[in-house]
Structure 1
Amino acid sequence: MRECKNNINPISDLLLERTSLIQLILVAVFIGFSVSLIVSSITLLHGFRPVIGIIVGLIICLSTLLYIFTTILKNLKTSKIINGFIYYNNDKNILIDVPRYEYSSEINEFLQRAFIESKDLKYIWEREPLSVFNDEDYENVPRSSDLIIEATEYFILDRISMHMQSYFHGLNIKDKNIYTFTPEQIPDVLLKNRFFMVFSKSLNERADFAEAAIENDENEEWYLCISENGTMFKKFELFLPRKAKLRRVNKKAIEIQTNRFSMIITIDFDGTNTFIPHNFEKYYLRLNNIFEANLFNISIKLDIKFKFKSLFLPSGWVYYKWVDSLIETMEELISEENFLESINWKTTSTILQCTDPDCIPINRMEQNE
């Protein structure tokens, strides 16, 4: 299986590999024909046993076929790991907002809005906070970590929905080859995500939106509504190629299945810390005490597996090329590396080290340690 590092275009790569495969097969046919002529001539030589030629020919043929199929199967799988981060205030039991980092900002907003409406979620967050990870002898993973995973899953699916709408809008959204999924059609995904249950619940069933529900025109669709006290309604629709499916693999993973490939999105959050460049907390987040915050890593893994038949389908790929741009979008929104590049932190850090005497260079910190 290929690990997609700098290359983030699995569909384009597959099509290129398919072209290369066709070229390889054509070359193999011509070489095989040439070899057959040579072998036929050799068998006419005095003393050559035909059985030996048959055995050697079969071995070469089978070895070649095995190599080709192994190469094909290996290239049908690819994966991409995106590492993001969240800052957590231990004393206040809240997430610290990171300006211009969309993933962190939206996860923080989801938690706060969900806590306003759901006392159960707020109870879990306060009863088993993320600060439990600081205890060296902790035995059970705090249930608040499940909320981070579910909020991240909601964030990803919400962004996939937005991405699909934008992508398919240019293809004519009423196309018969495109299907629209609503929350009622993917219950196994939504029922195990408490943020979906809170934010997607009908306006007519929520007290905070009673006035909006009364004023709502039956012919008018609401996509986003925020009440006076901060609770949120957000409509969810997911556009996918016809016959595609969205299912839950486990509490950390969901899968999108299509006729040509499947993509499993796995979210891993286990309290592992990550590294951020020195001086980031002090100068960018304005934290007076860097020890008041925990920096947690969150990992999103995308496993894409193409079906064998997809190699032989020449048309219809326009309905699936959204995967390439989706991976790129996920990196822009979540990746720690991309975020630091987007705010040009290396240059900023260099300027700070040259102008601010309180900004300690990395090598000096290492020497002091």
Structure 2
Amino acid sequence: MSISKNPEGEVASATDVRRNVSETILISIVIAVGVNLLTSADISTYRGAFLVIFSVSAIVYGIFVIAKRAVPRVNKIYKILGTLIISDKTDKIVIIPRYRFTSDLADSMEGLFLENGAYKALWNRSEIIDVNTYETQAEFNSLPARNKFIIEAIEYYALSSLSSHLSGYFESTTAKQSISSEKIVNLSRSDIPTVLLTNRFLELFTRPMEEREAFQERNTENKVMVQITKVSHGTEDGTIVSARSSDGAIFEHFELILPKNTFITRNLNNSIDIKNKKFLINIRSVFEGWHTVTGGHFDKLYLGEDFREIKCYQCSLEISVKFPFFTLMRSSGWEYLYWIESWIKKVDDDVNFQKFQERIGWEQSLTNVIVTKNLNILRKKAEEKLAGAIDAPPQDD
């Protein structure tokens, strides 16, 4: 017989299922009665008029209850927890191999500081402190420079990821067959609200290369430049969508391809709203300076770092998704919204540190290390015991 690891969870789940089934049966009966009365009522009589009102009320009530149960399932807040490690020796973000989130943030920091020495000086003079929250712009502005740089770097990761994901989604062959170009809009750097450009990473990296000293020809002669150009219908159209120099300078062609009549705003708590009459997405990058742990010996065995020379911090991306009731009732137009779920999944794959450790099989690897270590200890003891027995003087008869 097997015993459930979480019996309370199983009981709660069974109770929820039973309650949902009971509610579904009850709602079905109410709607069926309402429809039956509505079709048989004679509105020419007082009694018939009363039955019409009663039946319509029953049908509306049933639909309302169904909607009330459906909305919380699709309207969600995703809190994706990540981990950030900063070296005390270098004052830089430690890149965790195969954990893309840290490499993206480290590259962004390096690219920003390369082109603006004043920002690097701010980072060097500042310290990370733990804060409870920053719900207003004034509270955000009062944060230490390091906290703000990290918050902006996380936000830039989210926006850059969204930009590339939207382009890939709406410009795919499958999407082009079902999506009308008249129902989407392409927002470039010049179209996005200036409040987004308060993000120093976004403002610098999306600025045209001809306006930046790091990408002038006289400064690139001895550098290796990697450029990615846009491909449309199988051919390159010449637009440079990304460029990197060997010393760390970054250029990103920023665009957001969104359903028409979508607006982007920044809120007082420094989060970003992407709003359309069909949906509302809120993106908030969170870094409060709280320390975290990475698990047994992760720093030593996987990173080759001394835990006394690094600091581990928790960070997160909070993504809220809301759909108005009328959107849920629509049977068409969902092809303009499927990108939301796939983008959140991509962010979760990149940022979620627990998922990352599961993906690389860290617990299994740690178990193998422990077993191997103990086997070596036992082997060494056995060898020492055998050597002692060989070296021991012979016993007299």
1:321: Cα distance to partner?
0.8
Aligned mate of 1:125, from 123, 126, 149: 123
Q: Partners in 2 of 1:212 and 1:242 — Cα distance? A: 42
Asked if 1 retains the 8 angstrom alpha-carbon contact of 2:213 and 2:219, the reply is no
- The 5-angstrom pairing of residues 1-369 of structure 1 reads 28-32=30-34, 61=58, 67-68=65-66, 70-71=68-69, 74-75=72-73, 77-130=75-128, 132-133=129-130, 141-168=143-170, 169-170=172-173, 171-172=175-176, 175-211=181-217, 220-227=238-245, 229-250=247-268, 252-287=270-305, 289-357=306-374
Q: Partners in 2 of 1:192 and 1:147 — Cα distance? A: 12
CA deviations on 1:178-219 (whole Å, 9 max, x unpaired) are 211101111334321000111111122112222289999xx8
1:230: Cα distance to partner?
2.7
* More off after superposition, 69-78 vs 99-108: 69-78
- Cα distance change, pair 315–345 in 1 and its aligned pair in 2 (3 A): same
Q: Partners in 1 of 2:277 and 2:219 — Cα distance? A: 39
- Cα distance change, pair 65–226 in 1 and its aligned pair in 2 (3 A): closer
CA deviations on 1:280-335 (whole Å, 9 max, x unpaired) are 11100011x21211110111111111112112221111111111111111110000
User: Secondary structure of 1:92's match?
Assistant: coil
User: Secondary structure of 1:223's match?
Assistant: strand
Asked if 1 retains the 8 angstrom alpha-carbon contact of 2:27 and 2:62, the reply is no
Q: Partners in 2 of 1:174 and 1:308 — Cα distance? A: 24
1:227: Cα distance to partner?
3.6
Higher-Rg structure is 2
- Cα distance change, pair 357–109 in 1 and its aligned pair in 2 (3 A): farther
Amino acid of the structure 1 residue aligned with 2:194:
D
1:225: Cα distance to partner?
2.2
Asked if 2 retains the 8 angstrom alpha-carbon contact of 1:186 and 1:247, the reply is no
Provide structure 2 residue ranges, at least 5 long, that are not aligned to the other structure.
1-22, 40-46, 132-141, 222-226, 228-236, 377-397
- Cα distance change, pair 24–236 in 1 and its aligned pair in 2 (3 A): farther
- Cα distance change, pair 176–247 in 1 and its aligned pair in 2 (3 A): same
Q: Partners in 1 of 2:62 and 2:325 — Cα distance? A: 19
Tell me how many residue pairs correspond in the alignment.
Answer: 316
Aligned equivalent of 2:139: none
Asked if 1 retains the 8 angstrom alpha-carbon contact of 2:209 and 2:251, the reply is yes
Could you say what the CA RMSD is over the residues aligned between the two structures, in angstroms?
A: 3.6
Bigger relative CO (Cα 8 Å, ≥ 6 apart)? 1
